[in-house]
Amino acid sequence: MAKNLNLLRNIGIMAHIDAGKTTTTERILFYTGREHKLKEVHEGEATMDWMDQERERGITITSAATTTSWNVQEKEKNGKVVERKYQINIIDTPGHVDFTVEVERSLRVLDGGVVLFCAVSGVEPQSETVWRQADKYGVPRICFVNKMDRAGANFLNVVQEIKTKLGADPLPLQIPIGSEDAFRGVVDLIQNKAFIWKDEDKGKEPEEVTIPADMEELVNQYRQELIERIALEDEQLLEKFYDNPASITAAEIVYGIRKGVIGMSFVPVLCGSAFKNKGVQALLDAVCAYLPSPLDLPDTQGTTLQGESITRKASNSEPFAALCFKIATDPFVGKLAFMRVYSGMLDAGSYVYNTRSNQRVRISRLLQMHSNKQNPIKQIEAGDICAGTGFKDLKTGDTICDEKNPILLESITFPDPVVGIVVEPKKKSDIDKLAIALSKLVEEDPTLRVETNQETGQTILRGMGDLHLEIIIDRIRREFSVEVNQGEPQVAYREKLTRAKPHREIYKKQTGGRGKFADIQFEIGPVVDEELQKKKGIVFINEVKGGNIPKEFIPAVQKGFELSMKSGPLAKYPIDNMQVRLIDGSYHDVDSDSLSFELCAKVAFREAAKEAGPVLLEPIMRVEVVTPKEYMGQVTGDINRRRGIIQGMEMKGELQIIKAEVPLAELFGYINTLRTFTSGRASAVRTFSHYDVVPKNIADEVITKNN
């Protein structure tokens, strides 16, 4: 029987590291009945963190999708109460900032998010990053203020920060009863009832109590605000609000909240303590009540093989289309492709079409994942998420679809790697094993690349940060049993031309027999058109008249220049974009051919590019440091020494937040140094910002080293 899509939720839990994402996920699995014993994170046993090193590091690096279900009692219009079973797919979103790409990839396939905050530390710099990403992907969300039991917990403070720091419109749905040690439960503003959770049954059965007298005023105030705010979401509710606000029922409030969440006009805020087993069931109810089902979202956009736009509805009767958002290697079943199905159905064992590779792919089994346990299913339907196995050649970001109705879904964009390290096996005999390991890891992680240096033959591993590469090396050792030697991390510099340079190149080899001849006149330099400057690649303008260079040779000229961009004139770093205006030229009836013109362009590039004002560019990172006040001078002094530019400073309680832009080249090992001179009390997050020109003296050093 087809699934009722209204009862499906694809959600992600987004949080700053340490806000309690792992603990909350554990509790969700406990209450939803899939886990029978509560596991604590500090025992290193969390179900979602199934990779060894994640356990050791205590952070969640890769996203896995877990399926679970939650029964909700819902009152129908006629007053009858029915129990409905919701299916919830939790897509794990990693919190570590070197892995923001993983976060973006999960956001692409989720329908709604739960954003966790710590009741003590509130909105942290990294919560802002994740919030902005969720905005970018238009993900409706609800907030959960966790750790209400901790000393210093302050619910309304966090609500205020959601407004001021994130620019969002927070709408509390609960008011905590007690705080810190005394936190016991919440007043539910919708039902206007108070509930407490007891320690004896691990919070399984909430108990209704009377609203504490000293809370009545606060509860009334927030309940009024809630009703007023949701009335604005719907005309009928607004009318009722003006006639008689008291006549608005709990069901109508729920309806108004749902509408506001899906329309992204406000974010409901709940609270609790995952660790103390308080508030998680109410959070699950809220996920089902307010976050969108696949049917609530706009139709999925895609293009046909001919490039025309088409859309697909979240319906089983449409042709099959799915996006592979993660390739993972599982020790038991081999390679898994996590896919989000946007339309249609797929039976295990059937063939699909891979739009990227233009090939048929057989998906032999379909598995619904419960962390590291798998549940085979016969069929996957529109809107759902599962993992497929037994395929050949699927990559993260691939669209798979019905063979007769091909579609290309908008893929996920991944930034280019900014750091590289040379790797080699410690034992010569491990060369093949290392090659296999690297090719598997690259398949899983689209921000990881492997290159061979043509001159030295060395293998270079490229990624998004030193920590990213460190974790990969660690996996090579653990999962593939290869010990590797690694070089110092190297910055991925780029080169750029800054002024136009006219040039004529004549390429001639005419000694006996059939020779080679090409003659081109052109101007090479930076891209002029502002829109095109943002894109990668060559802007090639052909102004040759009267067939002075025959048409069939023009693409060869372009190809010669294009290939040359891989190795810039200063220090052989790639050039992102440049412009070539081909003005004139000549040819020889017998000796000229495409190859002559391609070679001519290559020689011409070598001669002309070095005269076109080439400069070296380096990646600049956005750095946000949180430090106790007393280390502020040292932290800023250190940032200045690293050629950093302070962008802003902000106080937060006893802590100072420093935002800066610092060249990546100066940041290797930064986190350790920072920890050392602040006795482990400061922390920093780094994200890629942009490429900028390297100062001359430093550029000269890099150039000399590379020549």
Residue 699 C-beta: closest distance to ligand GDP, Å = 40
> Which is closer to ligand GDP, CB of 276 or CB of 312?
276
Is 146 a binding residue for ligand GDP by CB under 6 A? The answer is yes
Residue 53 C-beta: closest distance to ligand GDP, Å = 15
Is 41 a binding residue for ligand GDP by CB under 6 A? The answer is yes
Interacting stretch for ligand GDP, rule CB under 6 A, among 20-28, 354-362, 371-379, 528-536? Answer: 20-28
Q: Residue 665 burial (CB < 10 Å; 0-12/13-18/19+)? A: buried
Measured on CA atoms in the order 577, 578, 584, 590, is the torsion positive or negative?
negative
Interacting stretch for ligand GDP, rule CB under 6 A, among 18-26, 283-291, 348-356, 502-510? Answer: 18-26
> Which is closer to ligand GDP, CB of 273 or CB of 389?
273
> Which is closer to ligand GDP, CB of 68 or CB of 146?
146
Check: CB of residue 375 under 8 Å from CB of residue 415: no
> Which is closer to ligand GDP, CB of 21 or CB of 622?
21
> Which is closer to ligand GDP, CB of 203 or CB of 388?
203
Residue 665 C-beta: closest distance to ligand GDP, Å = 30
Residue 69 C-beta: closest distance to ligand GDP, Å = 22
- What is the crossing angle of helices 216-231 and 235-243, to 10°? 130
Residue 274 C-beta: closest distance to ligand GDP, Å = 4
Which residues pair with residue 341 across a beta bridge? Answer: 322
Check: CB of residue 414 under 8 Å from CB of residue 442: no
Residue 658 C-beta: closest distance to ligand GDP, Å = 23
Check: CB of residue 335 under 8 Å from CB of residue 391: yes
Please write down the HEC assignment for all residues of 237-278. Answer: HHHHHHHCHHHCCHHHHHHHHHHHHHCCCCEEEEECECCCCE
Which residues, other chains included, contact 565 with Cβ-Cβ below 8 Å and sequence gap of 6+?
538, 574, 575, 578
Interacting stretch for ligand GDP, rule CB under 6 A, among 19-27, 243-251, 337-345, 382-390? Answer: 19-27
> Which is closer to ligand GDP, CB of 19 or CB of 421?
19
Roughly how many angstroms between the first and final C-alpha of the chain, as a whole number?
A: 67
Is 96 a binding residue for ligand GDP by CB under 6 A? The answer is no
- Out of 23, 63, 68, 293, name the contact with ligand GDP by CB under 6 A: 23
- Out of 15, 130, 145, 173, name the contact with ligand GDP by CB under 6 A: 15
Residue 271 C-beta: closest distance to ligand GDP, Å = 10
Residue 682 C-beta: closest distance to ligand GDP, Å = 18
- Out of 108, 147, 475, 503, name the contact with ligand GDP by CB under 6 A: 147
What is the rounded CA–CA span in Å between residue 210 and residue 224? 19
Is 51 a binding residue for ligand GDP by CB under 6 A? The answer is no
Check: CB of residue 587 under 8 Å from CB of residue 550: yes
Is 150 a binding residue for ligand GDP by CB under 6 A? The answer is yes
Token readout for 102 is 């993983």
DSSP one-letter code for 582: E
- Out of 22, 293, 354, 521, name the contact with ligand GDP by CB under 6 A: 22
Count of residues interacting with ligand GDP (CB under 6 A)? 19
Distance of CA 434 to the CA centre of its chain: 27
> Which is closer to ligand GDP, CB of 162 or CB of 380?
162
Check: CB of residue 171 under 8 Å from CB of residue 229: yes
Binding mask 325-364 for ligand GDP (x = CB under 6 A): ----------------------------------------
- Out of 1, 36, 37, 42, name the contact with ligand GDP by CB under 6 A: 42
Strands (E), 398-550: 399-401, 408-409, 419-425, 449-452, 459-463, 484-486, 490-491, 494-496, 501-509, 516-525, 537-542
Q: What number of CA atoms fall less than 13 Å from residue 41's CA on the CB side? A: 21
Q: What is the CA radius of gyration of the chain?
A: 29
> Which is closer to ligand GDP, CB of 52 or CB of 432?
52
- What pairing do the DSSP bridges indicate for beta strands 267-271 and 170-172? parallel
Which residues pair with residue 335 across a beta bridge? Answer: 329
> Which is closer to ligand GDP, CB of 637 or CB of 653?
653
What is the rounded CA–CA span in Å between residue 313 and residue 150? 45
Residue 375 C-beta: closest distance to ligand GDP, Å = 24
DSSP string covering 295-349, please? GGSPPEEEE-TTS-EEEE-S-TTSPPEEEEEEEEEETTTEEEEEEEEEES-EETT
Is 260 a binding residue for ligand GDP by CB under 6 A? The answer is no
Positions 267 through 296 that interact with ligand GDP (CB under 6 A): 273-276
Q: Residue 548 burial (CB < 10 Å; 0-12/13-18/19+)? A: middle
Is 184 a binding residue for ligand GDP by CB under 6 A? The answer is no
> Which is closer to ligand GDP, CB of 162 or CB of 554?
162
Interacting stretch for ligand GDP, rule CB under 6 A, among 15-23, 187-195, 197-205, 601-609? Answer: 15-23
Which residues, other chains included, contact 47 with Cβ-Cβ below 8 Å and sequence gap of 6+?
25, 26, 29, 35, 39, 66, 370, 371, 372
> Which is closer to ligand GDP, CB of 270 or CB of 583?
270
Is 108 a binding residue for ligand GDP by CB under 6 A? The answer is no
- Out of 3, 18, 297, 424, name the contact with ligand GDP by CB under 6 A: 18
Residue 43 C-beta: closest distance to ligand GDP, Å = 10
- Out of 11, 19, 194, 626, name the contact with ligand GDP by CB under 6 A: 19
Buried b (16+ CB within 10 A) or exposed e, 28-44: bbbbbebbeeebebeee
Residue 184 C-beta: closest distance to ligand GDP, Å = 13
Task: List interacting residues with ligand GDP (CB under 6 A).
Answer: 15, 17-23, 41-42, 95, 146-147, 149-150, 273-276
